[in-house]
């Protein structure tokens, strides 16, 4: 009978990657980041474990959207009160908190289970080209 290989926590080697979001399309960038966070491209991938790597995204304010999505794409949430639906356009979010655009897109592409919040802790998004993770020696990843 065949046994499935299951990696132990000690065997999982986590790398740090840095991705420059300048000129990249938001959805395509987010899908690549989600695969790295989940560990899908590793030979030790297991769907019930976090086998992914850490990702640093810089230049979040220079990400692109196709078509008229800057004006037409709406991000909605409900406050919990009657009539409490709040809407923001993608353009407004980019001006105030561009990190939220990438974070929200990646969050939507990860599996909706208990591991999603733990995977998102390995994602760091920064507005400019500076980040405080030089000590981890991140590898530059081109997408």
List of domains in the chain: 16-140 (3.90.1180.10)
- Single pTM value for the model: 0.92
| pLDDT-derived band at 7, boundaries 50, 70, 90 | confident
Cβ atoms within 10 A of the Cβ of 84, count? 9
Closest CA to 125 of 52, 50, 21: 21
Helix (H) or strand (E) holding 76, with range, is strand 74-78
Distance between CA 60 and CA 45 in Å, rounded? 28
Residues near 21 by Cβ (< 8 Å), separated by ≥ 6?
A: 29, 57, 58, 59, 60, 62, 63, 102
Q: Of 12 and 62, which is predicted with more confidence?
A: 62
């Amino acid at each position: 009978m065949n046994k499935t290989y299951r990696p132990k926590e000690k065997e999982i080697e986590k790398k740090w990657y840095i991705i420059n979001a300048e000129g990249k399309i938001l959805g395509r960038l987010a899908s690549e980041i989600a695969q790295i966070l989940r560990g899908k491209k590793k030979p030790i991938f297991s769907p019930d474990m976090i086998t992914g790597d850490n990702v640093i995204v810089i230049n979040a304010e220079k990400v692109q959207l196709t078509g008229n999505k800057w004006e037409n794409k709406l991000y909605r949430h409900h406050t919990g009160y009657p009539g409490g639906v709040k809407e923001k356009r993608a353009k407004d979010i980019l001006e105030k908190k561009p990190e939220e655009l990438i974070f929200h897109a990646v969050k939507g592409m990860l599996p909706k289970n208990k591991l999603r919040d733990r995977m998102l802790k390995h994602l760091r998004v920064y507005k400019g080209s500076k980040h405080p993770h030089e000590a981890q020696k991140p590898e530059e990843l081109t997408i």
